[in-house]
């Protein structure tokens, strides 16, 4: 299994997931389909289907065009998310197969949108799995609660995604990492892992390189929204439960001008 980043728009990422033995590929959120196809063609791949994380235009806005460019391509999206161009609706627990070795598991991760889907991807036995989290989980952050509640985001982050194997690679929808880590430092100024990762992320960006992927383990160490269970963070935001703390952190972030 190979994964290729494709920067799109101002700060979005689309991705190609490739089964190396068959050269079959899936595109995640191909908002600029011509760009995605150019990369796919240059690598000699056959694009089989699209995985859409949610209905927002900067993720699903290329679906209709890619269907024109690749006749017969399947477009997967959440069953209750009204994804543009969707041909195959998926629900939590649904599975899709790519090539000889790749399995894709749909995980319902609502809040940013009601039907948001993250895609957990596994390859051969010895390969590290990956999860494509759209705008639910960012590196050191989470998406705005446009359609859902703190309870839903807590379930999505701290139950569904946190239960994945710790080495799982996290590929999210936007390049927000450095700013998110600056905010994380305001919540946990003494967290050495956040300090180290911020320095690394700033260096990556200065070199024109992505800060993605992260891992589930790194997120549990550095992402305040996945650390709302900690008494120290609850005390910091003046809340007594993980769900309330998560909701308060989101309010802080919404009003933060870093």
Domain boundaries, the chain: 2-255
Please, are residues 80 and 115 in contact by the beta-carbon 8 Å criterion? Answer: yes
Which residue in 59, 81, 108, 116 is the catalytic one? 59
In whole angstroms, what is the distance from residue 120 CA to residue 126 CA?
16
Helical packing angle, 242-255 and 177-187, nearest 10°: 120
Q: Is 59 a catalytic residue?
A: yes
Tens-digit pLDDT profile for residues 14-72: 999 999 999 999 999 999 999 999 999 999 999 999 999 999 999 999 999 999 999 99
Residue from 27, 70, 17, 66 nearest 50 by CA: 27
Question: 178 by DSSP, 3-state: which?
Answer: helix
- For the CA atoms of 172, 177, 180, 185, the dihedral, rounded to the nearest 10 degrees, stands at 130
Residue 258: per-residue pLDDT:
75
Annotation marks residue 94 as catalytic? no
Q: Which of 55, 108, 112, 116 is catalytic?
A: 112
The question of whether 54 is a catalytic residue gets the answer yes
- Mean per-residue pLDDT pooled into runs of 10, the chain (258 residues): 97 98 98 98 98 98 98 97 97 97 98 98 96 98 98 98 98 98 98 98 97 98 98 97 98 92
Spatial separation of the C-alpha atoms in residues 132 and 107, rounded to whole Å: 10
Closest of 61, 53, 59, 210 to residue 133, by C-alpha: 53
Token pair belonging to 168:
């799982």
Which is the catalytic residue, given 56, 81, 108, 116?
A: 56
**Residue 101 annotated as catalytic:** no
Tokens of 243: 């769900």
Strand locations in the chain, DSSP E?
Answer: 2-8, 12-19, 24-28, 46-51, 74-78, 88-90, 95-98, 102-108, 117-122, 130-134, 137-138, 141-142, 169-172, 214-215
Q: Is 56 a catalytic residue?
A: yes
Cβ neighbours, 10 Å, residue 243: 18
Pick 2-255's CATH classification: 3.40.1190.20, 3.20.20.140, 3.60.15.10, 3.30.1330.40.
3.60.15.10
Strand 130-134, strand 95-98: pairing? unpaired
Q: Is 5 tagged catalytic?
A: no
Active site residue 174: yes
Going by C-beta distance under 8 Å and a sequence separation of 6 or more, which residues neighbour residue 174?
A: 11, 12, 13, 135, 138
- Catalytic annotation, pick one of 58, 81, 108, 116: 58
The model's pTM is 0.98
Cα-to-chain-centroid distance, residue 52 = 11
Q: Considering 19, 29, 54, 55, which one is annotated as catalytic? A: 54
């Amino acid at each position: 299994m190979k994964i290729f980043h494709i920067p799109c728009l101002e700060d979005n990422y689309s991705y190609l997931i490739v089964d190396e033995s068959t050269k079959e590929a899936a595109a995640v959120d191909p908002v600029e389909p011509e760009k995605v196809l150019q990369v796919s063609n240059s690598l000699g791949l056959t694009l089989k289907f699209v995985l859409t994380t949610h209905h927002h235009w900067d993720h699903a806005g290329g679906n209709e065009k890619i269907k024109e460019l690749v006749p017969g391509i399947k477009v997967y999206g959440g069953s209750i998310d009204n994804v543009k161009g969707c041909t195959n609706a998926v629900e939590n627990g649904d599975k899709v197969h790519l090539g000889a070795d790749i399995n894709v598991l749909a995980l319902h991760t609502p809040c940013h949108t009601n039907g948001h889907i993250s895609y957990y991807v596994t390859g051969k036995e010895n390969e590290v799995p990956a999860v494509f989290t759209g705008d639910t989980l960012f590196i050191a952050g989470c998406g705005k609660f446009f359609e859902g509640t703190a309870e839903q985001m807590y379930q999505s982050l701290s139950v569904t995604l946190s239960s994945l194997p710790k080495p799982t690679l996290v590929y999210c929808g936007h390049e927000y990492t450095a700013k998110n880590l600056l905010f994380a430092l305001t919540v946990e100024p003494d967290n050495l892992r956040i300090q180290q990762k911020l320095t690394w992320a700033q260096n990556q960006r200065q070199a024109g390189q992505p800060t993605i992927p992260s891992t589930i383990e790194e997120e549990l160490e550095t992402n305040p929204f996945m650390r709302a269970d900690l008494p120290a963070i609850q005390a910091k935001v003046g809340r007594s439960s993980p769900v309330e703390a998560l909701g308060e952190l989101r309010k802080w972030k919404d009003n933060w001008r870093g």
